[in-house]
Amino acid sequence: MMEKKKILLAVSGGIAAYKAAPVASKLYQSGYEVKVILTASAQKFITPLTFQTLTRQAVYTDTFEEKEPSVVSHIDIADWADLVLIAPATANVIGKLANGIADDMLSTTLLATKADVLIAPAMNVNMFNHPAVKKNMETLAAFGWRFIEPNEGLLACGWIGKGRLAEPEELINAVHMYFKEKKEHSLPLSGKKVMVTAGPTREELDPVRYFTNHSSGKMGYAIAFAAKKLGADVTLITGPTSLDIPSGVQVERVISAKEMFDKAISLYGEQDIVIKCAAVADYTPVTVHSNKFKKKNDTWTIELKKTDDILKVLGERKEHQILVGFAAETENLEDYAKDKLLRKNLDMVVGNDVSKEGSGFGSDTNEIIMIKKDGSIRPLPILTKEQAANEILEEVMEMMER
């Protein structure tokens, strides 16, 4: 069963408030979940009981009337709504919302919501054309709020002109259209948070020397780019590379394995998908010299200590996330990759034999094998890193659907 879309209908105090009742009723009958806020002025025209009966939901009228002790109502319904419809919107409410005034249930909720807003003004034609109201409407439009234009005709006040609230059918149609458009524009990873790590890490020995590896970042950047194109909200944690950050991707630059560990752990909780493609140093110098280490003896013995295995820790702390790791091997690819899958509690491991021509470090191509925790194994021929990235994300999306 499709989850019901949640509409918050906010009704302010004009004569057109009575038209909000058939809107609430039709939306409810069309399968939406509808909750209603009435301002104090709206209640002079129509009662909460009307909407409660039509929507089978309690109606909100007062910020301080906290019906449910476990939540703060105006924040709770602000977060609950998929879409807010303000109908009718009076000049007063438009002015308050444009200026961030929050002094009642409607205005505090609207200031707190992250949902999209449709706003249907209704007022006297001269009020509608007043520069102050026009300016406030422009401000709201700049917030991304969409207006449902009032109609022209005989107004309740006796004037003829633009200011009649759009008819209930028009308001309901605007809601249907909003969700239709949203569905058409939604991409497979819309609303999903994806964290990708890429590139090498650099482990300092002294101010002029460091240990690193051959990772160019190309594979990880290709994954970040592909996830962005699929609509995801992407964070790329990258070690030092010379690549451009894919457009629209949020970047976190790190140098060492320790910095990558700290950044990955701090962002982990909020992610839906994590793909750890970075070639993280397994060892780092025990001693980091503060001055350049001077040439003395014929040999120089450097003591190294293990770094924290980021992927292993993420596997141990896994909750809802889909966790994908890489395995860069030069022998026994399948066996070693399977071992990493189990030991690090991964959902999938992507193995690549980095000793093969056109595979692994630095190249524009890669030959990968994908092994999932359900035991399925999918070897792929040599592909561009962009193609390989898309194949990896296809498998991730398939796992998400289960």
Residues labelled as active-site residues: 157
At 325, the amino acid letter reads G
Cis peptide before 240 (omega within 30 of 0): no
Q: Does 219 bind ligand PMT (CB under 6 A)?
A: yes
Structure tokens at 120: 């249907």
Report 345-364 residues binding ligand PMT (CB under 6 A).
352, 354, 360-362
Q: In whole angstroms, how close is the CB of 198 to ligand PMT at the nearest point?
A: 6
Segment interacting with ligand PMT, rule: CB under 6 A, options 56-64, 133-141, 319-327, 372-380: 319-327
Residues counted in the chain: 402
Exactly one of 325, 371, 393, 395 binds ligand PMT (CB under 6 A); which one?
A: 325
Residue 356 CB-density burial (10 A; 0-12 exposed, 13-18 middle, 19+ buried): middle
Dihedral of CA atoms 34, 38, 44, 48 in degrees, nearest 10, equals 50
Q: Does 398 bind ligand PMT (CB under 6 A)?
A: no
Structure tokens at 379: 């070897």
Give the angle subtended at the CA of 107 by the CAs of 39 and 152, to the nearest 5°. 65
**Gap between the Cα atoms of 100 and 98, Å rounded:** 6
Q: Does 323 bind ligand PMT (CB under 6 A)?
A: no
355 DSSP 8-state letter: T
What are the helix (H) ranges across 81-198?
91-98, 105-112, 125-129, 131-142, 168-185
Complex with ligand PMT: residue 57 or 241, whichever CB lies closer: 241
Segment interacting with ligand PMT, rule: CB under 6 A, options 11-19, 156-164, 202-210, 216-224: 216-224
382 phi/psi in degrees, rounded to 5: -65, 130
Q: In whole angstroms, how close is the CB of 293 to ligand PMT at the nearest point?
A: 25
Complex with ligand PMT: residue 61 or 216, whichever CB lies closer: 216
**Gap between the Cα atoms of 317 and 165, Å rounded:** 53
367 phi/psi in degrees, rounded to 5: -115, 110
Q: Which residue's entry shows tokens 């976190």?
A: 252
Exactly one of 11, 97, 105, 279 binds ligand PMT (CB under 6 A); which one?
A: 279
- Residue 292-311 contact track with ligand PMT, rule CB under 6 A, x = bound: ---------------x-xxx
Exactly one of 150, 217, 239, 246 binds ligand PMT (CB under 6 A); which one?
A: 217
Exactly one of 257, 348, 389, 392 binds ligand PMT (CB under 6 A); which one?
A: 257
Report 361-390 residues binding ligand PMT (CB under 6 A).
361-362
Question: How many residues in the shown chain lie near ligand PMT by CB under 6 A?
Answer: 27
Q: In whole angstroms, how close is the CB of 344 to ligand PMT at the nearest point?
A: 7
Exactly one of 169, 282, 316, 398 binds ligand PMT (CB under 6 A); which one?
A: 282
Q: Which residues bind ligand PMT (CB under 6 A)?
A: 215-220, 257, 276-280, 282, 307, 309-311, 325-328, 340, 352, 354, 360-362
